[in-house]
A and B are shown apart, each in its own frame.
Chain A
Amino acid sequence: MFLINCPYCGERDQSEFSCGGEAHIVRPKQPTELSDDQWAEYLFMRKNIKGIQFERWNHAHGCRKWFNMVRDTSNDKIHAVYKMGEKPPVE
């Protein structure tokens, strides 16, 4: 449990948000040309990192907008929050 600084609403309790999982997984541009392995990679395989992870969050019980977050999954510390479409911060 932690506080999240929503880029639209400011700091709110984490229970107002829902996590959309790993960020920057791009939907394949030509789905019909994908092999089964590539589909499995897109649909199911996850980095599931212990450490700095990029992920998508939604302020479900607030502004309902999606945004991205950089969080350390080993201690739940949030390093950065940035809007959809913005470039992920480089550290």
Chain B
Amino acid sequence: MKNKYSIFSLIKNAFSQHENWKQAWGDPKPKGEYEAIIIGGGGHGLATAYYLAKKHNMRNIAVLEKGWIGGGNTGRNTTIIRSNYLWDASAGLYDHALKIWENLSQELNYNIMFSQRGVMNLAHNLQDVRDLKRRTHANRLNGIDAVWLNTNQVKEFCPIINTSPDIRYPVLGGTLQRRAGTARHDAVAWGYARGADEMGVDIIQNCEVKGIKRNGDQVEGVETSKGFIKTKKIGVVAAGHSSVIANMAGLKLPLESKPLQALVSEPVKPIIDTVVMSNAVHAYVSQSDKGELVIGAGTDAYVSYTQRGSHDVVEGTLKAILELYPIFSRMKMLRQWGGIVDICPDASPIISKTNIKGLYFNCGWGTGGFKATPGSGDLFAHTIANDEPHKLNAAFNLNRFVSGDLVDEHGAAAVAH
């Protein structure tokens, strides 16, 4: 490794006031032709490039990013990682990712600050209780750790939750996945970028894709703001803008792009050492290592690419937060932002070939793509390299909207969609 990070390199660089660290990834000019091109330099796209180079020995590839790497949804999400999904196909997909997360810092030689602090999902009515218990059983049958907690156990696990029976939506219990947690989202993009760059992948920022050139049903290259680039394989990982790229290739996708909001508070001392999500009232909260409360709100109920989101959505979330955590009533919110999420009708992603040869899509992650980043990259790389899906992403093909074999995680996925 050309520039291995360790305690020794840290000490060595301390002597030169940390001014001689090498750039973690380069700033290359695009070549005229690549073996494969990944459109989108977020976590999923960079992970795809990393695994294409590492596991499939495709080194002559490029990642094209319209802005800067990790500047889209990778840097806008609430960093929650879990795999407690209901259906077998989803459990396989998300737990594959979780297993990679567990060793990712070591593999990348980059501290992604993965913290298995547990994710708790609250139940607020009898149907929630039935659904969450069912999901706990389904998780266990799939080898995913999950336990049911009653109201007292919820209080014990997270003492600041208001478990009074008098609140509008009382806490009737919850599920806990202890292996779940959070990671530093920017570090994931940076770590993958550094790893991919080291294996010869060109990461080209400020390079917007303007068109996709086809010859019949085979792709020939991409038209970009930095000129035409020839390639036989294109992997699109453009999140909220997937439909925009698809339209360039004359393709329609079953997606709607909507703003999803999050906000953080002023930093305070450690008060909540886990992630608590609540489906029924749509509020979830965790605390970053800097001390900010990280709060996730909902999506706007209409298509928009504005990266803003509506105030009433934030207001609804904060009302629920205050009812569940009265202790936060005098906290000030520091920042609020929106990211554009591409939502599938069945709230499951698409990692698939298309009917155009050499064009692959990894999209539809909707409100919960961050947790899948390493698994998504690994499986998408497999799909691109072999022109065939891996068995773990076979169910997430584009054809399921024709066959009707949907992976319906709506509501069952433990967050409101």
A residues near B (Cβ < 8 Å) are: 1, 14-15, 18-19, 21, 36-37, 39-41, 43-50, 53, 55, 73-76
Contact = CB atoms under 8 A, between A and B. Distances in A.
A43 B244 CA distance: 20
Interface stretch (B97-105, B223-231, B252-260, B282-290): B252-260
Nearest to A74: B305
Interface string B294-310: 00000011111110111
Contacts of B30: none
A45 to B, nearest CB: 4
Interface in B127-186: none
Contacts of A45: 252-254, 401
A1 B311 contact: yes
Contacts of B247: 47, 49
B401 A44 contact: yes
A14 to B, nearest CB: 7
Contact of B252 (A39, A46, A53): A46
A15 B256 contact: no
B267 to A, nearest CB: 28
A43 B345 CA distance: 9
B241 interface: yes
Contacts of B306: 73-76
A50 B305 contact: yes
Nearest to A46: B256
Contacts of A74: 305-306
B299 to A, nearest CB: 11
B259 to A, nearest CB: 9
Contacts of A75: 306
Contacts of A15: 310, 312
Nearest to B301: A19
Contact of A36 (B241, B302, B309, B402): B402
Interface centre among A18, A40, A41 (most CB of B within 10 A): A40
B345 A44 contact: yes
B401 A40 contact: yes
Nearest to A18: B301
Contact of A55 (B257, B303, B310, B402): B303
Interface string B377-417: 00000000000000000000000011110000000000000
Ranked 3 nearest A-B pairs via Cβ: A1-B310, A48-B243, A19-B302
Contacts of A14: 310
A54 B163 CA distance: 46
Contacts of B401: 40, 43-45
Given A21-B303, A43-B401, 17 more contacts: A1-B300, A1-B311, A18-B301, A36-B402, A36-B404, A40-B254, A40-B401, A46-B252, A48-B255, A48-B303, A50-B257, A50-B305, A55-B302, A73-B303, A73-B306, A74-B306, A75-B306
